[in-house]
Amino acid sequence: MLTLYHWEPNANSGKPMLALAEKGVDYESRYLDLLKFDQHQPEYLKINADGTIPAMVHGDLVLTESTPMMEYVDEAFDGPPLRPASSAERWRMRWWMRFFDAYFGPSLSMIGWSVFVGPSARNRDPAELRAAIDRIPLESRRIAWRKALFNEFSEAELAESRRRIAFATGILEQHLARHPWIAGETFSLGDINGFNLGFALPMSQPQACNDEKTPHIMEWLRRIYERPATKQTWAKGRTPIAQRVTMLERKPA
Ligand SMILES: N[C@@H](CCC(=O)N[C@@H](CS)C(=O)NCC(=O)O)C(=O)O
């Protein structure tokens, strides 16, 4: 019995969703609406006391942390391997996953929370919002929500995130000019990870990621978008967040 608690196919939730689809593994999907704070409700806190998504339940085991969760999916289930056979490619896959999770992802997330999550969840009674923030278990998430809901990200921290995004897209473009995939010659969890962070980059960061400046990133995103597992996974989205993926449709020649 496999159950996945997730939000939209996007960022962290989309990583196990797409890995499971690539493996061809069925699961029970439990959709939590992040903007309605479903992830802080008592019923879900019994599954993941941190109140973050995704979480996966396989038998008696509760798994959190989307990147190691994808490695578990690849090891525990049949289906095409999603980690390269060679040690060198595995190292390169993990190098990039660490970079995505520790450096690129948090910067994209800060911009996303400031321009999208905050404004989308803000139109409620401030007292109700403060009570919702007080129920968040992790201090780091309480801080992120407070800044997003009350528009408190400083210009200095947003500028630093923009600088990091420009740097990250620059080195990713250089890498993909030399190799078709993140690990090198083999499609892997690294591509699933990067796609989830970056599928909307041409819309959210058009100055950093576009056909002229980063043609190899654009081609890589389009190749992943065209995979049947990606189409199947993004069809599970319920909001315009997931629908942004269609911007990767190739224009008729
Ligand atoms: N490192 C964790 C991060 C999980 C995480 O923070 N997820 C975000 C959504 S992408 C979340 O649950 N936010 C809920 C909240 O802040 O209330 C992972 O990769 O699974």
Q: Average pLDDT by consecutive 10-residue portion of the chain (253 residues)?
A: 97 98 98 96 97 98 98 98 98 98 97 92 90 96 95 96 97 98 98 97 94 98 98 97 96 86
- Per-residue model confidence (pLDDT) at position 31: 98
Of 124, 198, 123, 128, give the one whose Cα is nearest residue 168.
198
221 touches 199 (CB < 8 A): yes
Cα Rg of the chain, angstroms: 18
Instruction: Tell which atom from ligand 1 comes closest to the C-alpha of 67.
Output: 19
Give the residues surrounding ligand 1 with Cβ less than 6 Å away.
11-12, 34, 39, 51-54, 65-67, 136, 141, 144
Residue 249 three-state SS? coil
Instruction: Tell which atom from ligand 1 comes closest to the C-alpha of 65.
Output: 20
Degrees, nearest 5: CA angle 32-232-195: 80
Instruction: Tell which atom from ligand 1 comes closest to the C-alpha of 34.
Output: 14
- Per-residue model confidence (pLDDT) at position 253: 82
**Structure pTM?**
0.97
194 touches 96 (CB < 8 A): yes
Distance of CA 246 to the CA centre of its chain: 16
